[in-house]
Amino acid sequence: MVAEGALLWEPTPSVVANARITRYLSGVGRADYDDAWQWSVENPEEFWTSIWDYFGVIGERGDGPVMTGTMPGVEWFTGSSLNYAENALSREDGTAVIFHAEDGTRRVITMAELREEVARVRRGLARLGVGKGDRVAGYLPNIPEALVAFLATASLGAIWSAGSPDFGVPSIVDRFTQIEPKVLIAVDGYRYGGKSFDRSAAVGEIVAALPSLRATVWIPYLAAAPGGRPPRPAEPAAPGAEHPAPAAALPQGEVLGWEGLRAEEGPLEFERVPFDHPLWILYSSGTTGLPKPIVHGHGGVVLEHLKSLSFHQDLGKGDVFFWYTTTGWMMWNYLIGGLLVGSTVVLYDGAPTDLWAIAAAENVTYFGTGAPYIVSCMKADKRPAGLTALKGIGSTGSPLPPEGFAWLTEVLPGVPVGSFSGGTDVCTGFVGATPLHPIRAGVIPCRSLGARVESFDPAGEPVIGEVGELVLTRPMPSMPVMFWNDPSGERYRDSYFDVYPGVWRHGDWIKIDQDGSCVIYGRSDSTLNRGGVRMGTSEFYRVVERFPEIADSLVIDTGQLGQEGRLLLYVTLAEGEVTPELEARLKAALREELSPRHVPNEIIAVPGIPRTLSGKKLEVPVRKILLGTPVEQAANRDAMANPEVLQHFKP
């Protein structure tokens, strides 16, 4: 075990002097980070105006007020206009994108080439009738065509939405039927773990469920791979040529291939839109009920990503940015934001077999991934090598235990480890790191600039040094501009403002210390409450998953209001079975390191822990199942990575 808070890294005077945030603080006359954070949350109008001006955002700022109204009805930069794509494609030289696939494919795309491709696809989308406010949906892996299609969509003032092709058909239909896209862009299949998965029939089912479609565009991704299956639709020779239908005819509108979409050259133009004009639609996990379609605006995303990537990740021109993600996770949207600050972005499609090797080969300067990947490398002692250009590592998705911090510090000495926490809801982090802050095991160094994060006790009062509800008491411009098909805003208000009126409740447990550093303890709706002692599940997993015999785990407290329940620990074993000796060691460790109250009533071996498609443990749905909710009602199987394991959690 590594002590939470143990000092692992401190910035040198050189790191501080050369950090991008240092230059910004000097420019706005702030003494240090704490001074800047206090100013940013007490004077949001001044702070966000400084971000617009400091980065020279392309667009018209207008004469309207910077901020009007209160949460959840805040309006930002009234009268302004801009376009995300215009800002992302503002430079004309250098490398924009490096793409890797698990089969060894590598592509390098210059900024000039990216601009040309966006212009071509923009013209193709316009030819299909896509314009301002229309929706374009992508059923795409993390490939350059997904980025090009998004930027072309945004350049028109149209609205992008994506799902990864490993999503099941019902999961995609649940998402896309809500937003009624005009065009669907899809691959014929994808590769993962050395296997090819044909999705052409699935695309046919998706198209049949979307009567709003005017056209379907096919990308022959598998056909381009050795031994891959050919796409069902043939490629048209040129715009206006006959577009043959696939073998199983698609019922909705025109069918064409990617080459047909991009066949005509066109000028690279940008439709400037109001600050809060919808840019993309992201989705909640949808593990229970329909996924919430979360709409973010052009302006909020541009300002937030400029700030966060520059000051918290220390990224800019000349940097190479790589975060392991799929198009179905908000980290894809965050990754491509690297273009806004002039960085080269690395896209990777495939299984996470050796992400370190890609980072080393491409001289990545900032690498990010989910905490489970770091923990799995630590357990397997899979040590990175050759990362000579690396200046920072990011971790998100779930809390990184102190041991993960310490291991990374050991195998990558001198490289700070930044743990970040935020969400799809704001497409950024509320709390994170900067080059100015020391790194301590298991601790997130600071609250992000412009994010007034507080910890509320049950009475709704802010507390320091105690675990409470993570809330935001001031607005951020990247908060959703709305939920799609929620004209009254009721669904939006119920999602974040139902507990504390006018205060955003995020649903995480957080402890904030006097110096502004914090620790995230997991979801507050899956907390462990034993004998009145509340504890986040992350503390439990930290103890259990340290055991080499345990590959994964899930802990559930079945207690209800006023009634003590059973504490059940489910484990997936690396090998073997739960022996009396292993059970005794597990219980002893939990008793000693947590408390006697947190010794599980039962330890149960299961073949897998249920997770969402983005890798998060399904604690709440499993708890519902244990309390009597039928499996089919407790969780949306199509929003899961491994729905087959749910049956093992029936009471």
State pLDDT tens for residues 582-631: 999 999 998 887 777 789 999 999 999 998 877 788 888 898 888 888 88
Average model confidence (pLDDT) across the chain: 90
CA 504, 509, 514, 518 dihedral sign is negative
HSE value, Cβ hemisphere, 13 Å, CA-based, for 127 = 19
What pLDDT was estimated at residue 253?
Answer: 82
Q: Across residues 640-645, what is the average pLDDT?
A: 88
In this prediction, residue 530 has a pLDDT band, given cuts at 50, 70 and 90, of: low
Contact 456, 462 (CB under 8 A): yes
Evaluate if residue 229 carries a pLDDT over 60: no
List Cβ neighbours of 492 (8 Å cut-off, separation of 6 or more): 72, 480, 482, 483, 486
Of 633 and 475, the one with more pLDDT: 475
- Lowest-pLDDT range of 135-139, 220-224, 357-361: 220-224
pLDDT tens for 459-474 read 899 999 998 999 999 9
Range among 199-208, 252-261, 345-354, 618-627 rated most confident:
345-354
What pLDDT was estimated at residue 214?
Answer: 94
Could you write out the DSSP letters of every residue in 423-448?
ETTTTEEEEE--TTS-EETT-B-EEP
Angle between helices 537-544 and 580-593 (to 10 degrees): 130
pLDDT tens for 120-136 read 999 999 999 999 999 99
Evaluate if residue 578 carries a pLDDT over 70: yes
Evaluate if residue 406 carries a pLDDT over 50: yes
Residue among 16, 45, 51, 278 at smallest CA distance from 160? 278
Strand 453-456 with 7-9, pairing: unpaired
In this prediction, residue 561 has a pLDDT band, given cuts at 50, 70 and 90, of: low
Dihedral pair phi/psi, residue 49, rounded to 5° = -65, -40
pTM of the model: 0.85
Q: Across residues 261-290, what is the average pLDDT?
A: 89
Evaluate if residue 562 carries a pLDDT over 60: no
Q: Report d(CA 515, CA 440) in Å as an integer.
A: 13
In this prediction, residue 231 has a pLDDT band, given cuts at 50, 70 and 90, of: very low
* Amino acid making up residue 401: P
Instruction: Tell me how crowded residue 230 is: count the other CB atoms within 10 A of its CB.
Output: 12
Q: Report d(CA 571, CA 574) in Å as an integer.
A: 10
Contact 458, 19 (CB under 8 A): no
Q: Report d(CA 163, CA 137) in Å as an integer.
A: 8
- Lowest-pLDDT range of 86-100, 175-189, 391-405, 445-459: 391-405
Evaluate if residue 240 carries a pLDDT over 60: no
Contact 166, 611 (CB under 8 A): no
Q: Report d(CA 587, CA 361) in Å as an integer.
A: 44
Contact 395, 420 (CB under 8 A): yes
Evaluate if residue 565 carries a pLDDT over 90: no
H or E, element range at 330:
helix 330-336
Evaluate if residue 275 carries a pLDDT over 60: yes
In this prediction, residue 238 has a pLDDT band, given cuts at 50, 70 and 90, of: very low
Residue in the structure block whose two tokens are 């050759």: 386
What pLDDT was estimated at residue 171?
Answer: 80
